[in-house]
């Protein structure tokens, strides 16, 4: 292997494994909350089932700013311009402050109407509203944590966010135990206590991230002077990347709502089996998202360095690692689907149906790996519009059309719908590869042009 390629692969692996662990920790945090709340009563558990998709939708839109932060800051790191990187990091904090306030006000004013769309049981609605209100009172700190982690990731540091997330997750388990069940002299607050514990932990997490960024140990060290350097141009640059990245989940998630309706036409058994199969396949999403984020960071660095060859090598090595890991998971899905399904249910009919779907889902893994890497590559160059188009085409095209044709019209049932899902990922992979081949010409033509000179102000050393 070329020494340069070997070094890039080594950098990618070093960047990605903490992200995988961090993603798993985030997933575990929600599942632990659900498991501990599930010991209370059916009302609390039903409320968690409602707030999950509501909170997930808002968080997916909020992630757009995190993507914009990674892309713009990583590019400045690649340009060897620490002042610009720190200024864009400060800009992200200020934009995040405004966005978090808007999100908080929106949820506090409308949560009772949103939760009522899902269920008519007033007890469940009341529990769900209480949980949403308390966690969004602390939403600013949640956003600060996301942005702080994105800044560190853009600098090449993914270990610090992983450690901080691990610490606060353990703190959340303790807080849940004390506040949900009323232990250690604390009142038993039930589901509200779970929300309060989560909010406190996110406050701790966001505070630690911010303190670390202001410390000399941070690769991108913030200083109050950088907040005075924020301009309309820096805000515009950040939003140019962030807004399209926030828009993609909207188009994709609305398509998934229609997809869920098609699955519902098959009946309760199919819905339950689909839920089990999706829970198992989500195992592959954790490394998939991590691969995408790591690729976006490294491509952002190479783009800032104006190195088209570096971008090409990064994408190639990232693809090799991602395909190896996720194809390995696909083999696992083929070998032990029934064993995996039994983790979630004892119903033999559900296990049999879910196992067939899991085996079909194994075929998706190479396409899913390719989509995640190439999506990250485009985001790393600041092109966050293309993922919107490709994602919308995949979901609203082959996924929905073939789901209805194969699952309903030709009566193949849930396996037919999972075949349709595979065509979605295959279509997206083909579109991404086609787009990437065209984009490479841009890399070599644009990035080889003489670089704009750095202004005198930009060349100032970072404050100590």
| ∠ CA 344-22-96, rounded to 5° | 115
- 207 and 289 share one domain: no
Residue 417, token pair as written in the block: 């719908």
The string of pLDDT tens digits covering residues 86-116 is 999 999 999 988 888 998 999 899 888 888 8
- Answer yes or no: is 237 within a domain: no
- 53 and 158 share one domain: yes
- Answer yes or no: is 128 within a domain: yes
- 181 and 303 share one domain: no
Look at residue 29 and tell me whether its pLDDT is greater than 50.
yes
Give the pLDDT band (50/70/90) at residue 334. very high
- Could you list the residue range(s) of the whole structural domain that residue 249 is in? 244-464
- 283 and 189 share one domain: no
**What pLDDT is stored for residue 255 in this prediction?**
81
Residues in CB range of 55: below 8 A, 6 or more apart = 132, 135
Lowest mean pLDDT among 230-239, 264-273, 358-367: 264-273
pLDDT higher at 313 or 41: 313
- Answer yes or no: is 238 within a domain: no
Q: What is the mean pLDDT of residues 362-391?
A: 92
- 81 and 179 share one domain: yes
Look at residue 234 and tell me whether its pLDDT is greater than 50.
yes
- 171 and 34 share one domain: yes
Three-class DSSP labels, 181-236: HCCCCCCCCCHHHHHHHHHHHHHHHHHHHHHHHCCCCCCCCCCHHHHHCCCHHHHH
Q: What is the mean pLDDT of residues 376-403?
A: 91
Report the distance separating Cα 39 and Cα 46, nearest Å.
12
- 163 and 296 share one domain: no
- When the pLDDT of each residue in the chain is averaged and rounded to a whole number, the result is 86
**Domain boundary, last residue among 197, 230, 263:** 230
- 381 and 419 share one domain: yes
The string of pLDDT tens digits covering residues 9-28 is 999 999 999 988 988 887 77
**Domain boundary, last residue among 201, 230, 259:** 230
Q: What is the mean pLDDT of residues 269-285?
A: 82
Q: How many domains does the chain have?
A: 2
**Domain boundary, last residue among 203, 230, 257:** 230
φ/ψ region of 80 (left if φ > 0, alpha if ψ in -120 to 50, else beta) reads left
- 48 and 197 share one domain: yes
Which string of DSSP letters, residue by residue, matches 50-81?
HHHHHHHHHHHHHHHHHHHHHHHHHHHHHTT-
- Answer yes or no: is 183 within a domain: yes
Q: Alpha-carbon torsion 154, 160, 164, 170, what sign?
A: positive
Look at residue 152 and tell me whether its pLDDT is greater than 60.
yes
Burial class (CB within 10 angstroms; exposed 0-12, middle 13-18, buried 19+) of 343: exposed
- 180 and 285 share one domain: no
Q: Alpha-carbon torsion 201, 203, 204, 206, what sign?
A: positive
- 26 and 79 share one domain: yes
- 67 and 146 share one domain: yes
Q: Hunting for tokens 């997933």 — which residue is that?
A: 27
Q: What is the mean pLDDT of residues 115-127?
A: 81
Report the distance separating Cα 374 and Cα 63, nearest Å.
18
Q: What is the mean pLDDT of residues 378-397?
A: 89
- Answer yes or no: is 235 within a domain: no
């Amino acid at each position: 292997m070329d020494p340069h390629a070997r070094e890039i692969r080594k950098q990618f692996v070093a960047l990605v494994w903490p992200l995988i662990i961090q993603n798993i920790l985030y997933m575990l945090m929600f599942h632990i909350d659900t498991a501990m709340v599930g010991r209370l009563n059916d009302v609390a558990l039903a409320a968690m089932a409602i707030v999950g998709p509501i909170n997930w939708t808002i968080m997916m839109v909020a992630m757009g700013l995190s993507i914009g932060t990674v892309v713009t800051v990583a590019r400045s790191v690649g340009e060897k311009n620490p002042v610009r990187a720190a200024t864009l990091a400060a800009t992200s904090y200020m934009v995040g402050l405004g966005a978090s306030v808007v999100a908080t006000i929106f949820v506090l004013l409308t949560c009772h109407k949103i939760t009522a769309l899902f269920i008519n049981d007033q007890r469940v609605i009341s529990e769900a509203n209480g949980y949403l209100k308390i966690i969004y009172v602390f939403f600013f700190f949640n956003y600060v944590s996301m942005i702080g982690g994105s800044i560190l990731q853009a600098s090449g540091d993914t270990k610090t966010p992983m450690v901080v997330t691990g610490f606060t997750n353990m703190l959340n388990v303790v807080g849940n135990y004390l506040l949900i069940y009323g232990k250690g002299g604390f009142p038993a607050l039930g589901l509200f206590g779970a929300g309060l514990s989560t909010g406190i932990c996110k406050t701790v997490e966001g505070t630690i991230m911010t303190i670390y960024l202001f410390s000399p140990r941070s690769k991108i060290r913030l200083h109050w002077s950088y907040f005075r350097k924020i301009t309309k141009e820096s805000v515009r640059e950040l939003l140019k990347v962030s807004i399209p990245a926030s828009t993609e989940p909207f188009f994709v998630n609305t398509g998934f709502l229609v997809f869920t309706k098609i699955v519902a036409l098959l009946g309760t058994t199919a819905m339950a089996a689909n839920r089990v199969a999706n829970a198992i396949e989500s195992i592959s999403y954790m490394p998939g998202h991590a691969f995408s984020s790591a690729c976006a960071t490294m491509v952002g660095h190479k783009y800032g360095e104006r190195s088209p060859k570096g971008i090409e090598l990064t994408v190639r090595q990232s693809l090799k690692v991602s395909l190896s890991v996720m194809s390995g998971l696909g083999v696992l899905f083929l070998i032990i689907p029934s064993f995996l399904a039994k983790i979630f249910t004892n119903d033999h009919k559900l296990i049999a149906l879910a196992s067939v779907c899991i085996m079909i889902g194994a075929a998706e893994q190479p396409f899913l790996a390719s989509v995640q890497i190439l999506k990250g590559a485009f985001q790393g160059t600041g092109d966050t519009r293309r993922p919107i188009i490709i994602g919308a085409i995949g979901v609203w095209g082959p996924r929905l059309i073939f789901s209805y044709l194969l699952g309903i019209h030709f009566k193949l049932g849930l396996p037919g719908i999972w075949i349709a899902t595979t065509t979605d990922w295959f279509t997206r992979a083909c579109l991404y590869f086609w787009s990437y081949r065209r984009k490479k010409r841009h890399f070599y033509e644009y990035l080889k042009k003489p670089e704009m000179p750095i202004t005198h102000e930009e060349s100032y050393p970072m404050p100590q």
